Chain A
């Protein structure tokens, strides 16, 4: 592309920049502005109140609950999803029979729409008709049906389990691609030197896909923190706020109670947490980029 044709770049970019500016970047600012205003169903006209809404949220009983739930939810899903995804990728990277079919089938939860996944698992967890209780009772593990989603002791674990079931194929795909790029000659050299499967994993495979693992973990942290549909359809944040995370709390406060100011404060906090995660992502990516030429 010659210098003379540069105008075309901007013509091509214009609609995208316009749309992203208006629909993604402006709303980020809009949320911060909203957080200093008070609105309610009775008083829909926003009123500037300074830090008052922050103070109200900050001192509320629910705020620490939402933060804690978000931490448990995000770390739980990310750790389990990446461990299971890595394990599945290792398994599907061996030359075993039926590999292609298994790989295709394992991708199904990834494609299954989120609301369908949540409805299916609501049914799986159902105290009367659900398959999970039926299997556990038949196997003699449970004496009587448990209400997995309705008890605040088990609800979070039950929701995390569903998210891992749906999310691990994505991690698996990324790890599988990375594993297939591992230098075969290094693996063979290690085998000749007498390294067993475990040593090859620790000494050759893991070091050479380190960056992919790190980037993938931070990426899933960000995506999981932003998750909405599965949690909302499974529990609506209940029972007794046991599964309320930032996105569900924002939706309920904003569109359930029309308290846009309070929802915006939760929004600002979630933006701050995400900003930290994004900074982590940049650091990890930068580290990966710097190490690559020497590797």
Chain B
């Protein structure tokens, strides 16, 4: 549709305004993380440090931060692998099975994704306590897999429903058993859906705070979000280090997201728009 030049200028201006609204806090986070500890804050604020330096990053990357980082990688990485595997198996059953009871179970899956974590966390905490799993990676992995499964199944089921069944049927006629059909035909075809789901699980678990805060009690087991929250009190107003830590916590997910964005956006919006 053709637009008048004046309309276009207004629209471009609005677009720039939108970008500024989003970017100013992020830009400032980066700016303060590069500010030398000696350079004071001033009013009006200086938007970019006079002499940018990485020293805050060096100081912030202390041993305990490295421990948190490692814990986050272990917990998130395991959750991604386990959730996506279990969800693919379940989604296949939901997408290909025709039993009425499966429709009912799928409704329960959709329902479960809306459960408030804060309302179910105490019984889960008691389960973990009774199983002697509190303050372990395993307790967080089990919790994360459970809470991410519903959406993961929903995303993958939507994806599998769009795949043609004819390939699976042809393989079955050629004499491939159902297990082989699944691993040789379905799994390779499902790759874009698997990537989208993996990105979702990573984004959710990398930032998960409530379970990590409740289930871990020692520094050795803290994940990054909880560790970062602890820093607030510990470092008072040493915002340079706090912002440097924040940037380091955010970079991995931001990088993954931007490399795999198109899979994720397609996977998320397809389901959400089609219902």
**Partner of B273 from A28, A212, A268 at Cβ < 8 Å:** A212
Pair A31/B239 contact, Cβ less than 8 Å? no
A108 & B123 in contact (Cβ 8 Å cutoff): no
Pick the residue among B22, B120, B149, B228 that contacts A115 (CB under 8 A): B228
Q: How many residues of B contact A (CB 8 A)?
A: 97
Interface residue A274 (Cβ < 8 Å from any Cβ of B): yes
Q: How many residues of A contact B (CB 8 A)?
A: 107
Assembly CA distance A73 to B247 (angstroms) = 28
A26 close to B123 (CB less than 8 A):
yes
Q: In the complex, what residues of B have CB within 8 A of residue A181's CB? A: 273
In the complex, whether A15 has a CB less than 8 A from a CB of chain B is yes
Check: A83 CB closer than 8 A to any chain B CB: no
Contact of A20 among B112, B116, B237 (CB under 8 A): B112
With contact pairs A116-B249, A119-B242 given, residues A9 and B93 touching in the complex (Cβ less than 8 Å): yes
Q: Are A19 and B149 in contact (CB under 8 A)?
A: yes
CB-based contact B261/A228 at 8 Å: no
Q: Which of A103-129 contact B (CB under 8 A)?
A: 104-109, 111-116, 119-124, 126, 128-129
* A58 in the interface (beta carbon within 8 A): no
Asked whether B210 lies within 8 Å of A113 as measured between CB atoms, the reply is no
Indicate which residue in A10, A26, A277, A285 contacts B275 across the interface (CB closer than 8 Å): A285
Main secondary structure of the interface of B (DSSP, over half): helix
Could you tell me the distance in whole angstroms from the C-beta of A216 to the nearest C-beta in chain B? Answer: 7
Contacting pair A12 B93 (CB below 8 A) = yes
Cβ of A80 < 8 Å from any Cβ of B? no
What residues of A have a CB within 8 angstroms of the CB of B115 in the complex? Answer: 24, 28, 274
Q: How far is the CA of A102 from the CA of B23 in the complex (A)?
A: 10
- B127, B150, B209: the one contacting A22 at CB < 8 Å is B127
B118 adjacent to chain A (CB < 8 Å):
yes
Question: Would you call B116 and A173 a contact (CB within 8 A)?
Answer: no
Interface pair A97/B12, CB less than 8 Å apart: yes
The answer to whether B45 and A246 touch across the interface, beta carbons within 8 angstroms, is no
Residue B153 is within 8 A (CB to CB) of chain A in the complex: yes
CA distance A75 to B72 in the complex (A): 33
Residues of A contacting B254 with CB < 8 Å?
Answer: 108, 111-112
Cross-chain contact B112 with A129 (CB below 8 angstroms): no
**Nearest B-chain residue to A273, judged by Cβ:** B116
Q: Number of residue pairs across A and B with beta carbons under 8 Å?
A: 289
Given contacts A115-B225, A120-B243, A211-B275, contact A264 B112 (CB under 8 A): no
A138 and B273 contact, Cβ closer than 8 Å, known pairs A102-B15, A108-B22, A131-B28: no
Q: Find chain B residues with CB under 8 A from A99 CB.
A: 15
In the complex, are the beta carbons of B89 and A229 less than 8 A apart?
no
Cβ-defined contact, A106 with B123, below 8 A: no
Q: Which residues of A sit under 8 angstroms from B229, Cβ to Cβ?
A: 115, 119, 233
Please measure, in the bound complex, the distance between the C-alpha atom of A9 and the C-alpha atom of B272, giving whole angstroms.
26
Q: A23-B124, A107-B261 are in contact. Are A251 and B179 (CB under 8 A)?
A: no
- Look across to chain A and name the residue whose beta carbon is closest to the beta carbon of B266: A177
Q: Are A134 and B209 in contact (CB under 8 A)?
A: no
The answer to whether B116 touches A27, judged by C-beta atoms less than 8 angstroms apart, is no
How near does chain B come to A177, taking the closest CB pair, in angstroms? 4
User: Which A residues touch B182, using CB under 8 A?
Assistant: 8, 12
When distances are taken between beta carbons in the complex, the residues of chain A under 8 Å from B15 are 91-92, 96, 98-99, 102
Asked if residues A274 and B114 are in contact (CB atoms below 8 Å), the reply is yes
Task: List chain A residues, Cβ under 8 A from B96.
Answer: 1, 9
Does A173 lie within 8 Å of B237, measured CB to CB?
A: no
- Beyond the given A96-B8, A216-B272, A278-B111, could you list 15 further A-B residue pairs with CB under 8 A, ordered by the A residue number? A9-B97, A15-B86, A30-B123, A34-B122, A104-B261, A112-B26, A131-B24, A174-B268, A228-B209, A233-B229, A263-B122, A267-B118, A277-B114, A278-B114, A288-B275
